[in-house]
Structure formats: structure tokens, C-alpha cells
Amino acid sequence: MTAAVAGCAGPATAQEVTLRLVAAEYGDSAGNSSKKYWDELVEKYEADHPDVRVQVSVYSWNDVDRKVKEMVAAGKAPDMAQIGSYAEYAARNQLYETGQLLSIPVQADFLPQLGDSGKVRRIAYGMPFAASTRVLFYNKKLFADAGITDTPQTWNDLAEDAAALKANGVKTPFALPLGPEEAQAETMQWLLSGGAGYTDGVGSYKLDSDANIETFTWLKDELVAKGLTGSTEPAKLNRADAFAAFSRGEVGMLNGHPTLMEAAAKQGVEFGMVPLPGRDGAARANLGVADWMMAFKQNGNRQAIGEFLDFVYSEKNVLAFSREYDLLPVTTSASEAMSAGKSDADLTPFLDELPQAELPPVGKKSWAEVSAAVKERIGKAVSENGNPEAVLEGLQQMAVSAESADQ
């Protein structure tokens, strides 16, 4: 979907600046399309800045990263892009540093863990634009029907609850989407709950750590092999399909983000939300996910870009976007406002997770390649004849190779 946002009437002047922004689509209908959000925001900005026009092109998530890549390769980079990753462009010295664009108060307002994740070699290039965390959703009716009175606090609790749900005829006691759509996020959620992650304490890839191997061995032996993850193999189950099944009342538990709330509520599913338990109690950390804004240097509109982005990241605009799409604010001021607002109470479990959230290693240029490999291979680790250790060792070798190639 492409939207050229109209500016103020009248002929252009020699001093007029036109900024071009490529943005991702967060809506699911014409009524809540991202086009509508950007139309309204740009109209307000241009009313106070008659010498600036902002043209916004909105594409689906299936296309937006590719569109920007093609534009850059053709020598026609947009002034700004709001997409899924920034590290590749930063590594090629194609982006402005955040400090060259935003005012100091706006820079300082980013939530620390999100702002830090926008850095490559300790310099910020990626500006967080939208964030979410993951929590464990459970179907209250299915739990009650199976005689489950408490939410799981440990992995063993989760497996026991899943077994009770299966015994009571639940189609999918625990949905484990390790299909190619978003397996990298589900994987990281489990790695964190097992006490590790994609990287070690100094930021080097460590996919084949003992803790990670133990995590996927447990998933294979205690959930998948016992038939607790439903009839669809995890390697073939995508997140969207798992969410749809939960919304139909067919799934007892799964990891989900805020958009699942509305989808499930629309179909009358009464659900609860708790943190995903760790091996023996609370997880070491929880998964955080962010989408990014970046600014390309090619057209040289640094000052105009910075002034526009200061407006984009005002508390009012960050709140408006977050509320429209059930996402978490990326700034401290908007987060505090949302936490205090009664109308935002449904998002409290996710907001509570954000301060302790850990993001994937998005600052590594190699992450795009590693993420793609995880999506392709990780489901095999829990398959009937799968070998978690071998799969994770293979991914580790690939990650080290990709990292070395980027040095």
C-alpha cells in the first residue's frame, strides 16, 4: 500500500524541502491503516512547517524491508525508513547517527534498553519506533475444565498443566510455533527462560551453550514427544496460525504479544496472562521486540529530518501510535503516561515486562542472516528424529561464520 501524503496547497519554493519516508503497515483494515496515522500526523506537522513536505509510502511487513533494500541499491534511498532492521545500513555508513538528528531531550527519552539496542559499535543509528514483549496466554475456561487452579510457575508446572489439558481433550495444550514466520522470537523466549540466549555476556554468539541445548532437549522430550503441542509439527506451525487457533478456543497456552488480546476477545475467549516461567522459577529475562526508524544520509536533509523526527517522538504522538496498534511506547514519558492511564490497563502485563526485556542482537549486521537460519532450522531440533545439540551447533557455526564475514 502506497500513500503520498498531500502537503499544504500552493507552489513549491526554492527553500522548500521534501522528505520521503517509507513506513510499515501495522493495521489490518482501511480504518486503522498506518496510512491513516501518518496522514494525520503529517498534516499537523506541515501546518506548522509550510516549507516542509513529507511524503509517506506505506507497505506491508511482507514487502517493506525489501522495498527499502531495493531503493537503496538503486541509489534512491528514502530520507527515513521505519522497518525491521537497521544494522546493515549502519555498517555501510549510509545512516545518520541518532545524535546528529534528534534533540537531546528526545534522545534521552528513549527507554534505555531500547535505545542501547539501536547501537552499532556503541554508536546509535537505529531509533526504536514500536515495541512489544511476550507473555504466556492461557485459556481460562480450558484450565477450569481441566481442573487447573494455578498458573504455571516452572517448566514442570507448565508440562503438568499441558498434560492435564490433553487428558481433558484439548486439541493443542501448548502451541509451539517454530515455523518460518517468527521462529526466531519463540526461540529466544525459550532460551531466555532457560537462563541463556543467543549471545553470551560479552555479546558473542553462543547458540550452542549447555543451557540452550538443555532447553531444546526439554522442549523435545517433555512437550513435543508427549503430544502436548498439538497435531501440527512445531517446525510447520507459524505464529499467525497459532494465534488464530487460540482465538478459536483450541489452544490451552502459548506465548503471545499484545495484538492477541483483541483477536481472542473478539471471539469470546476468556484468557489470562502471566510471565513465561523459567526452568525452576522466574525466567532470567523476557523477550523484547522493537521495530526501527532510521535516516539515510544520501539526500542530505539532516536538519529537516531531525526536526520532523522530534515531532514524531513527542509524547502525544508516541502514545497515539501505541494505543492505535496495541503496542508499547518506546519512550519513558509515554510509558509512564500509559502506565497511569486506566484505559491502557490491558497492556499492564506487557509494560511490566519491558524494563527487564532483552532484545535479539539486532545491532549485529550478521543478525539478519542468523535470524533467517534460525527460522529455517530450529524446528528440526524438536522433531521426532531431531537432535537439539546438532541443530544448535550447526547454527552456532553458521553464526560465527556470518559474524566473521562482517568484521
Q: Which of 337, 358, 379 is the last residue of a domain?
A: 358
Say yes or no: 140 and 206 in one domain: yes
On whether residue 59 sits in a domain, the answer given is yes
Mean pLDDT of the chain: 93
- Same domain (yes/no): 261, 384: yes
Q: Can you give the pTM of this predicted structure? A: 0.85
Question: 365-382 pLDDT, tens per residue?
Answer: 899 899 999 999 999 999
**Domain check: are 151 and 255 in the same one?**
yes
Is 104 among the domain residues? yes
Confidence bin at 183 (pLDDT 50/70/90): very high
Is the pLDDT score of 7 beyond 50? no
Q: In this predicted structure, which of 90-99, 338-347, 370-379, 383-392 has the lowest mean pLDDT?
A: 338-347
Are 50 and 143 in a shared domain? no
Length of the chain equals: 407
Is the same domain home to 121 and 140?
Answer: no
Do residue 245 and residue 380 come from a single domain?
Answer: yes
- Regarding predicted confidence, which is higher, 284 or 264? 264
Overall average pLDDT of the 332-339 stretch:
93
Instruction: Indicate whether 190 and 263 sit together in one domain.
Output: yes
Q: Residues 6 or more apart from 247 whose CB is under 8 A from it? A: 260, 263, 264, 266, 267, 269
The 3-state secondary structure of the chain reads CCCCCCCCCCCCCCCCEEEEEEEECCCCCHHHCHHHHHHHHHHHHHHHCCCEEEEEEEECCCCHHHHHHHHHHCCCCCCEEEECCCHHHHHCCCECCHHHCCCHHHHHHECHHHHHHCEECCEECCEEEEEEECEEEEEHHHHHHCCCCCCCCEHHHHHHHHHHHHHCCCCEEECCCCCCCCHHHHHHHHHHHCCCCCECCCCCECCCCHHHHHHHHHHHHHHHCCCCCCCCCHHHCCHHHHHHHHHCCCEEEEEECCHHHHHHHHCCCCEEEECCEECCCECCCEEEEEEEEEEECCCCCHHHHHHHHHHHCCHHHHHHHHHHCCCECCEHHHHHHHHHCHHHHHHHHHHHHHHHEECCCCCCCCHHHHHHHHHHHHHHHHCCCCCHHHHHHHHHHHHHHHHHHCC
Number of domains in the chain: 2
Q: Which domain covers residue 178, as residue numbers?
A: 135-275+366-405
**Together in a domain, 128 and 57:** yes
CATH code at position 314: 3.40.190.10
Same domain, 204 and 299: no
Q: What pLDDT is recorded for position 29?
A: 79
> Could you read off the pLDDT of 186-238 as tens digits, one per residue?
999 999 999 999 999 899 999 999 999 999 999 999 999 999 999 999 999 99
* Cα–Cα distance, 197 to 219 (Å, whole number): 15
Q: Flag whether 283 is in a domain.
A: no
